[in-house]
Amino acid sequence: MALFPVGHASHADWRTAADAVLQQLRAQMAGPNLAGPNPVPRPRLALVYFSHGHARHAQPLLQHLARALPHVTDWCGCSAPGVLAMGHEYLSEPALAVMLLDVPASHYRLYSGLAPLPAPGGEAGFVAHSALVHAEGGQPEMAELLYELSERTSSGLLFGGLGSAGEEEVDGVQIACRAEDLAELRSGGTAGVFSGGFSGVAFSADVACATGMAQGCVPLGAGLEITEARGALVTGLDGDPALERLLQLLGVELDGGDWQPALTTVRSTLAAIAPPGRGVAHGVLTEEAQVLTLVGLDPLRQGVALSSAVEAGHSVIFCRRQAQAARQELMQLGAALRDAAEAEDAEPVPEGEPRIRGALYISCRGRGGALFGGPDAELRTLRHALGEVPLIGFVADAEIMDARLHRFAGVLTVFTA
């Protein structure tokens, strides 16, 4: 079974980083998995992630990669606050990572604002089952846009992240360069690189992959019904004033009207929103729970302000991030997807050979070493559960799972035979 080649490097000069990545990719493609008397087809789809520091050079970077790898016909990726590859978390230095996927051309489609993903039945011979999404924050009606995109897939499964928060000081870009754009790109054109909107790659059901999410948050109790809300301000929980219920849950008592203890405790508290009566199973958050931050307290209206608007009737589960829970949940996620890959593998695989061909991991800026205990600790935890499989990804400003934006989450996708 051929593993997906991965190359990664850190250097302030984009060309130096790209040449190091290319050298690694060529070495892997010359190895026993992709060479020999009966080689498998050379990979034609590439995922490429790079630091925001290299974003202004995205066009020449993509041209350089495309000219050096002529067998790759489709390029997809984005710039991000951090780059993840194998066991390395490139957070404070400029970096580049590329993974090559030898997925048949009939089993995937690149999409972007210039070439939207067709609605079901819109393209003969291809039905999108799931989709990798790269997006930029700051877009109005983000939730509606994600839902509309999910409706263009048969499963509704979206996985991905925001490469940038849409802030002016962050020069983020996306890459979606299709086979028909390559001639223009290689001749020095500007095809394939753009800012804003959505882009990514949709996969048919023929692409064997599985996706899951880890949030690393410990619920502080059962879910409470939101009985009154005005936009992002929750004023009623289970029929009581929301602020009163929150302070009771946190065990905070106001001493002579001093709000400082309450504010200190609230800063470490998160709010997970879920459908009524759902969002928690076996003491952990489920993928239905959307974690939001608490941004303030409103004593006058006895309200709790969240980072996004919510609706009455939903449940809110107050929770906290915890290092031990985050490590355990990520280990369980990796092990579950690894076991699922082994169970679904219809053909015998030699003992000791991994069933997973490659993995994509998108983590949040709020995770990493601050939560897992040091540099590269999050990826070491994940790879301990998955095994030594090819891995690539990026650090996002928010993560996408299904048709929802999440905070403080890690979204893992594994590709099998």
pLDDT digit string (tens) for 247-257?
Answer: 999 888 776 66
* pLDDT, tens digit (0-9, with 9 covering 90-100), for 76-100: 999 999 999 999 999 989 999 999 9
- Contact of 276 with 315, CB cutoff 8 Å: yes
Which pTM was predicted? 0.92
In order of 16, 38, 39, 203, 264, the CA distances from 360 in angstroms are: 24, 28, 24, 14, 36
Mean pLDDT on 149-177:
86
pLDDT digits (tens, 9 = 90+) for 374-409: 999 999 999 999 988 999 999 999 999 988 899 889
The whole-number average pLDDT for the span 166-174 is 71
Cα separation, 126 vs 107, whole angstroms: 7
Of 267, 277, 268, give the one whose Cα is nearest residue 222.
Answer: 277
CA dihedral 205, 160, 53, 115 (to 10 degrees): 60
pLDDT (0 to 100) of residue 17: 98
The pLDDT tens digits of the residues spanning 202-253 come to: 999 999 999 999 998 999 988 999 999 999 999 999 999 999 999 999 888 7
The pLDDT assigned to 183 comes to 81
| Burial group, residue 62, by CB count within 10 angstroms (0-12, 13-18, 19+) | buried
Residue 232 is predicted with a pLDDT of 94
Top pLDDT among 33 and 7 is at: 7
Provide the percentage of residues in the chain whose pLDDT is more than 90.
65
Q: Which distant-in-sequence residues (6+ apart) come within 8 Å of 7 by Cβ? A: 20, 21, 22, 23, 24, 25, 28, 97, 98
User: What is the CB neighbour count within 10 angstroms for residue 53?
Assistant: 14
Return the closest-CA partner of residue 323 out of 246, 408, 199, 413. 408
| Residues with Cβ within 8 Å of residue 270, at least 6 apart in sequence | 217, 291, 292, 293, 294, 318, 319, 320, 321, 407, 408
Task: State how far the Cα of 186 lies from the Cα of 180, in Å rounded to an integer.
Answer: 11
Instruction: Name which of 30-39, 226-235, 290-299, 328-337 the model is least confident about.
Output: 30-39
C-alpha 152/C-alpha 115 separation (Å) is 14
199 bridge partner residues:
134
User: Burial letters for 204-233: b for 16+ Cβ neighbours within 10 Å, e otherwise?
Assistant: beebbbbbbbbbbbbbeeebbebebbeebb
Instruction: Please give the mean pLDDT across all residues of the chain.
Output: 89
The pLDDT of residue 403 is: 85
Residue 365 contacts by C-beta under 8 Å, 6 or more apart in sequence?
81, 82, 395, 396, 397
67 versus 258: the higher-pLDDT residue is 67
Q: For residues 398 and 177, what is the distance between their CA atoms, to the nearest angstrom?
A: 24
**pLDDT of 1 over the 70 cut:** no
Residue 197: what residue type?
G
Of 165-179, 203-217, 270-284, 293-307, where does mean pLDDT reach its minimum? 165-179
- Dump pLDDT digits (tens) for 35-61: 444 455 689 999 999 999 999 999 999
Give me the pLDDT at residue 63, please.
94
Backbone phi and psi for residue 132, each to the nearest 5 degrees, phi listed first: -80, 130
Q: What burial letters (b/e) apply to 362-378, b meaning 16+ CB within 10 Å? A: bbbbbbbeebbeeebbb
Q: Which domains does the chain have, with CATH numbers?
A: 6-215+326-416 (no CATH), 217-320 (2.40.30)
**Residue linked to tokens 């990804």:** 393
User: Which pair of structure tokens corresponds to residue 77?
Assistant: 């990726």
Q: Is the pLDDT of residue 336 over 80?
A: yes
Is the confidence at residue 171, as pLDDT, over 90? Answer: no
Task: Name the CA dihedral angle for 194, 78, 29, 388, rounded to a multiple of 10 degrees.
Answer: -170
Tell me the two tokens of residue 150.
Answer: 């999910």
Asked whether the beta carbons of 327 and 259 are under 8 A apart, the reply is no
Mean pLDDT of 298-316: 93
Mean pLDDT over 14-34 rounds to: 89
Taking residues 151-175, report their average pLDDT. Answer: 85
Task: Give yes or no for residue 161 having a pLDDT over 80.
Answer: yes
Q: Return the amino acid letter for 108.
A: Y
Question: Is the predicted pLDDT of residue 165 greater than 80, yes or no?
Answer: no
Residue 350 has pLDDT above 80, yes or no: no
Question: In the prediction, which pLDDT does 385 show?
Answer: 94
Identify the pLDDT of residue 351: 56
